[in-house]
Amino acid sequence: MTIIRKAVLPVAGLGTRVLPATKTIPKEMLPVFDRPAIQYVVDEAIEAGIEHFVFVTGRNKSSIDDYFDSSYELEATLQAKGKTAILEEVQRTRPKAGSMSFVRQQAPLGLGHAIWCARDIIGSDPFAILLPDVLVKSDKSCLAQMVDVYNQTGGNVIAVNPVPEDEVNKYGVIDPIERDGSKIRMRGMVEKPDVAAAPSNLAITGRYILKGEIFSLLEDQAAGAGGEIQLTDAMDRLMAEQDFFAVEFDGTPYDCGSKLGYLRATLAFAMHHDELGEAARDTIRSELDV
């Protein structure tokens, strides 16, 4: 079985739901407490064994490239001032040479098109997709939990989390067949179903492991909702040919694509920070007492 070594991170979106903050700063670079959101996603993937990252970017996203590059002037200044701890923390964000690729999605043609743009780098191998809008706080990374299921089944894998049954009409949910612990064999997906007709309350979370055959389907995928090439449409076609599993992962997802979701993520990661968590909780409590 081919191991999951590569991941695609689509980062070309404009971040309209969090404007005006994203007018000049990519939404993926907005700080969630002490580091940009994209760092949490990359760390999640590294824990799962990902060795190569493909960022699908667009205009005004060069700060993502720069963030993962070395910064000679900054590091030299920190070294000269004896700020060793901060220097080491900065250096830890630097990936191994050659472990990141950046490709352009020249037009906003949809998530499916963004993934297709990575085809030549991914090749025919199975690969992971992580939507950077979603951060997942968990003891074992969400993607690592998914890789475990992939290693057991060899099938395509989708991360899901339960949502209130009266709110399923806000999400895309899966249509399950059978369940074995957190692993769920599935037969389909339904986008924002009526509450009474929903096949489950398990919402798709923004993490996928897909076989390389998805690229040939995206090649000729017709435009769907919003006039864009939708990844879920191609996944539906692939599901007719290959096994799909969902993983109800152990963890909490945060939608950083909305202002309140971004606030929730910032508070959660601040309160559980290894060094500053207790002080962050005290600060939050003091502000609530005002």
- DSSP for 108-169, written as a single string: ---HHHHHHTTHHHHTTS-EEEE-TTEEEE-SS-HHHHHHHHHHHH-SEEEEEEE--GGGGG
Please check whether residue 211 lies inside any domain of the structure.
Answer: yes
**Exposure string for 25-55, b = 16+ CB within 10 A, e = fewer:** bbbbbbebbeebbbbbbbebbbebebebbbb
Q: Which two tokens stand for residue 8?
A: 């695609």
For the chain, the domain total comes to 1
Please check whether residue 123 lies inside any domain of the structure.
Answer: yes
Contact present, 159 and 207 (Cβ < 8 Å): yes
Between CA 273 and CA 285 the distance in angstroms is 16
How remote is the C-alpha of 104 from its chain's centroid?
Answer: 18
Please check whether residue 51 lies inside any domain of the structure.
Answer: yes
Please check whether residue 259 lies inside any domain of the structure.
Answer: yes
Query: What phi, psi does 175 have (nearest 5°)?
Result: -105, 100
Between CA 163 and CA 159 the distance in angstroms is 13
Between CA 245 and CA 239 the distance in angstroms is 10
The CATH number of the domain holding residue 172 is 3.90.550.10
Q: What is the 3-state secondary structure (H, E, C) of 38-97?
A: HHHHHHHHHHCCCCEEEEEECCCCHHHHHHCCCCHHHHHHHHHCCCHHHHHHHHHCCCCC
Instruction: Give the global pTM.
Output: 0.92
Q: Where do we find the tokens 């993926």?
A: 28
Confidence at residue 290, expressed as pLDDT on a 0 to 100 scale: 58
Q: pLDDT tens digits, the chain, 290 residues: what are they?
A: 789 999 999 998 888 888 898 888 899 999 999 899 999 999 999 999 999 999 999 888 889 999 998 888 998 999 899 999 989 888 888 888 889 999 999 888 889 999 999 999 999 999 999 999 999 999 999 999 999 999 999 999 999 999 999 999 988 899 999 999 999 999 998 888 899 889 999 999 999 999 999 999 999 888 777 788 889 899 999 999 999 999 999 999 999 888 999 999 999 999 999 999 999 999 999 988 75
Domain around 99:
6-288
Residues whose CB is less than 8 angstroms from the CB of residue 268 and which lie 6 or more positions away in sequence, other chains included: 137, 252, 254
Q: Which two tokens stand for residue 290?
A: 């005002």
Please check whether residue 1 lies inside any domain of the structure.
Answer: no
**Pairing mode, strands 52-57 and 202-210:** unpaired
Confidence at residue 94, expressed as pLDDT on a 0 to 100 scale: 85
